[in-house]
Amino acid sequence: MNAREPVVAVVGATGAVGVEIVHCLEQRKFPLSKLRLFASARSAGKTMTFRGETLTVEELTERSFDDVNLALFSAGGSTSRKFAPIAVERGAVVVDNSSAFRMDPTVPLVVPEINADAIRSHRGIIANPNCAAIISITPLWPIHRENPVRRLILSTYQSASGAGAAAMEELRESTRAYLAGQPYEPKVLPHPYAFNVFSHDSAVGEDGYNSEERKLLLESRKILGLPDLAVSATCVRVPVYRAHSEAVHASFERPVSVEAAREVLAAAPGAGGQMGSAGPAVGGAPAAARARRRRRRAAPGHSPRPPARPNRRGGRRSWLLFTT
């Protein structure tokens, strides 16, 4: 393997996330000697442009990884569970965007700004966390290093893009039908999407949490290295095309002021993006439409706000809003 210019494969290249991965590789001038694009048989033969060159999407098979050094997977858990081990056997390092390996104790779950050192323990597969988990804990990490977090209450407002290209299309078409006064039968999501808000479209367990909420609970604890961290989450789907938003209610070991939180966040890698206004000026607050226009910069907006009341344990509650 040429570590400086590897052969890179994107698995699920024609999906909503796969397209963004290809864009990021190009925009960030990622060093590679060759890019290969893989998808299902249904998408094989399509073409995509990368660095001015037209690339043909190949069907994903067990022989796809013979010359691949780095494989970026974003094709769903079942595809990852089947093909990621095959890629590793062929000598590739896999970075997987699905939930397939996130809670495997032998697989590092990595947010580079938080626990990049965990990559060293990988055995061929590195897991990428749930999108909402990344948004919530990346800005908290720099505060946590100075003042340990003790409890999190997370509320997410998740866009169509998180459910893939088909959900984005359903939002577009259902909105068009609604405005025209025409009926529309949902095909991708379990509820009508246009002008509607509903619990995240994932299975609800016996504990009352849907699977997206459960991911936030478990993944946040693993990434932060806090297995006993008190976390509660509520995840809903909102009719926004791109950009998830979150309200993060965090309790820390010691009181933390809004000013101190803002100062730490502004200087933190990955968390120092668009600083929203905590005051009455609505125009300065983080907004999904603004985040959508600057999405490939991967920088959240945040608006720390004072707590509603003092924490009973003597700490303070800090409210933060992140849009990415």
Hey, which residues are catalytic here? 131, 244
Distance CA 32, CA 10 (A): 12
Distance CA 10, CA 94 (A): 10
Radius of gyration of the chain (CA): 20
CB distance 110 to 219 below 8 Å: no
Specify the pairing of strand 7-11 against strand 70-73: parallel
Tokens of 171: 């939002």
SS3 for 176-192, per residue? HHHHCCCCCCCCCCCCC
Q: Which residues contact 64 (CB under 8 A, 6 or more apart)?
A: 9, 36, 38, 58, 83, 87
